[in-house]
Structure 1
């Protein structure tokens, strides 16, 4: 088992090194720590994954990538996959020094396939400059369940055609720049009402329905030559028993994905430390079963003890005869093949950039795509925002980050954007995602005597407090209330009496600048809903 790219030679590997190639692991620091160094040196680790905890800014990340590759080189290991979840929009691990591009649903609202390709090409170029060669994106989940707590705006929209079209453009953009695109979450996480970070979701649909909807974008991506597919920790009752998630299912990963759909690329698990796996079988046994099911790469993102246990469990499974070594060889050859294909070798690693990674051209593209995404869903008042002392913005803020919720600095809020664009200070008050009755009463009192209030909500569908606040303000006479959804666009369904409502799909600073320009009359809202809110507001809707 040997291959080469340039001066990098892939030498025959021991069993321990072969198994190590099947793992991508995370660590906790801004520099290589003892844990990740141990995994690389002791096991010949296949790759690493970055989270926000590893990122200070773009040039620091480039140095980190270089340092990790140096550790692998000096220990006699193979060049590393260096992966990240850089989806754009609401799930973006890298911000400072990189171009923060709009997320999937914002791009779906812009209805611009060429823009998606250009955006992903920019993302791919910048990632490679930072030493990142694998992106766990784009999401090809179809968001046809408004109560989905984990996908939402990470999806391009609610139809297979829209998601498949935009998703394949995103894949091409990344891969044209030498970054392995990893579409997710196979066979589809869109129509679930549970989050696999915390539970084991179940999809009850028939195989006929799955082929028509959930699977269709993945089929299109496979036909388009996608490099990698990430599995979902979701049970599909039409395909597997009620307690077997897709990640651990031979029927789904081998019989369906490999044989029926003809996928020849890399199969990557979602993180096995998510509770759908870790609180069931456990991470170590989960790793063994994922490989038995057909996975090539096992993702264990956080704890060294679990990472070591998982690797050792797979080694033991091979030594005991439970997993044939030929099965490990199959995945190793596929992994090395894709490292060769995308030029992941020690002699082709990008140097640490001297100048900026994010360029004015990249930022201009992001701005233009964001501008095209803002959607005016309804406006029964038709009144531009007047920046004066009778205006107030209420900003609903994420106060602690999660895997899918990023904290936005208060310098990037709507109030900040309005102040900068108008040249006048706009008063802004802040409230958490789940305001109490006392907080609601205080905010309502502070709105008395005002003429205009803009509330930026954040998944109000899941927050009784946000809904109560908006309803209380909507009931005030002589107050022009504007609601802008800062994440999922479905919030309007909780307070249909609101007369002016915009969908922004994300509360990132660029989206807030785009919204501010619309509210001030500097730009028109040209985005269209990529999902259906109701019969009155179907997919493709915008109020002109």
Structure 2
């Protein structure tokens, strides 16, 4: 059997020149980061300790190659430019230099789809818009065979893009579970929190990761680091490990490490903290009247701990904190993302918005403007969970914002730098998976669950 790198090299040879440049650079990026992992141990043992390249490492790039269907883009550059203008051997910079502006914007979009198999709009988002990732929800998943078939088909739709997809899902345990009935159920964080046992939480993370990995996913929107401090909260509840910061921090970080130990990308959520809201942001915009000083004593503590542990990705919530930013919710706020998360807390990893098609945004802000605002604030990946028209609106808004100078292309490069580094760090690929035999995994889940008190 050919090694993954040889299979990729054979694939590269079959691609057009532009794709070969990108694929070769991305392969170099992956192998260089994996070499770093192997020098310190396997990915399983060291994923959390592989440093992401600094966003500032990206080299300033020349003008991009225009899309054949777009008459308003910048003039074309020489195809030889990537190797000549990157100015160094940084594989991230080489990869970015081989990408068009359209390619780069695509990497910043993580989208939901309709139905249980790829329709023409889904295929266009992947093959033409080159979105960076897909998220599946319960409506997309109908049984084990259907789920695996869908995941494989989505990856196949990405065959013309040398950069693999984030295949993501919300698999938290408890009431937020996307896996079909063939999977053994994992209890909610609240139950695990009552054990006060980080080893149990780490095992939970490992089992959640094994569940999603078996179906071909590579990113899980977990753990929840919100502190359940408001009994009237309609959306968090037992999704949280508990009502105090030390407990949530200890168990949340343990779960995060369990997820990443299996080679799945964990996304901690929902910064700056969704635990003290009394409104569901899926429906309306919550407002929390806390100062930065108050947040730093409770809500921010688990996230600060996750950042110290080199968290792969952080999801930012749609919550208005008027004491920090009276105009924009956290997910669109340069104060909360740029000044606090990236500045004060020093986070240099991937920032992902919560779904921009939730009521908190669509009922209060224009989607296109919100997309531009969140990138200016410091977000890297924009989650658009519903409707092809929304994906197109966001994509066009970002393209226009770069072409008219509202957003510098170097700012886009910073985000793509982080995204590609993360994909390489976890050695993501679009390889299909077989329908798994779940007997061993389900037995392990059941045995572990028996250690959790009711």
**TM-score normalised by the shorter chain: which range applies?**
0.7 to 0.9
The reply on whether 1:313 has 2:336 as its aligned counterpart is no
Residue 336 (structure 1) aligns with:
420
| Aligned residues of 1:246 and 1:252 also touching (Cα < 8 A) | yes
| Aligned residues of 1:134 and 1:180 also touching (Cα < 8 A) | yes
Question: Which of 170, 174, 178 matches 1:89?
Answer: 174
The reply on whether 1:116 has 2:201 as its aligned counterpart is yes
Q: Which has the higher contact order (CA 8 A, sep 6+)?
A: 2
Deviation at 1:54, TM superposition (A): 1.0
| Aligned residues of 2:107 and 2:419 also touching (Cα < 8 A) | yes
In structure 1, stretches of 5+ residues that fail to align are 375-544
Alignment of 1:103-502 (within 5 A): 103-241=188-326, 243-346=327-430, 349=431, 351-356=433-438, 359-369=441-451, 372-374=452-454
For residues 27 and 296 of structure 1, the distance between their equivalents in structure 2, rounded to whole angstroms, comes to 20
Deviation at 1:360, TM superposition (A): 4.4
The reply on whether 1:35 has 2:104 as its aligned counterpart is no
For residues 295 and 223 of structure 1, the distance between their equivalents in structure 2, rounded to whole angstroms, comes to 19
The reply on whether 1:64 has 2:150 as its aligned counterpart is yes
| Aligned residues of 1:97 and 1:357 also touching (Cα < 8 A) | no
For residues 63 and 366 of structure 1, the distance between their equivalents in structure 2, rounded to whole angstroms, comes to 29
Please tell me the root mean square deviation across aligned C-alpha atoms, in Å. Answer: 1.9
Deviation at 1:328, TM superposition (A): 0.6
Deviation at 1:357, TM superposition (A): 6.3
| Aligned residues of 2:183 and 2:442 also touching (Cα < 8 A) | no
For residues 427 and 184 of structure 2, the distance between their equivalents in structure 1, rounded to whole angstroms, comes to 24
| Residue range with higher mean Cα deviation, 123-132 or 267-276 | 123-132
Label 1:64 to 1:165 Cα distance change in 2 as closer, same or farther (>3 A): same
Residue 395 (structure 1) aligns with:
none
Deviation at 1:265, TM superposition (A): 1.1
The reply on whether 1:15 has 2:95 as its aligned counterpart is no
For residues 142 and 311 of structure 1, the distance between their equivalents in structure 2, rounded to whole angstroms, comes to 34
Deviation at 1:366, TM superposition (A): 4.3
After superposition, what is the alpha-carbon deviation per residue over 1:107-164, rounded to whole angstroms, capped at 9, x for unaligned?
A: 1122221111111101112211211111111111111110011111111111000001
Aligned residues, how many?
A: 368
Larger CA Rg, structure 1 vs 2? 1
| Aligned residues of 1:207 and 1:239 also touching (Cα < 8 A) | yes
Deviation at 1:194, TM superposition (A): 1.0
TM-score (norm 2): 0.78
Residue 469 (structure 1) aligns with:
none
For residues 175 and 324 of structure 1, the distance between their equivalents in structure 2, rounded to whole angstroms, comes to 33
Deviation at 1:198, TM superposition (A): 1.3
More strand by share: 1
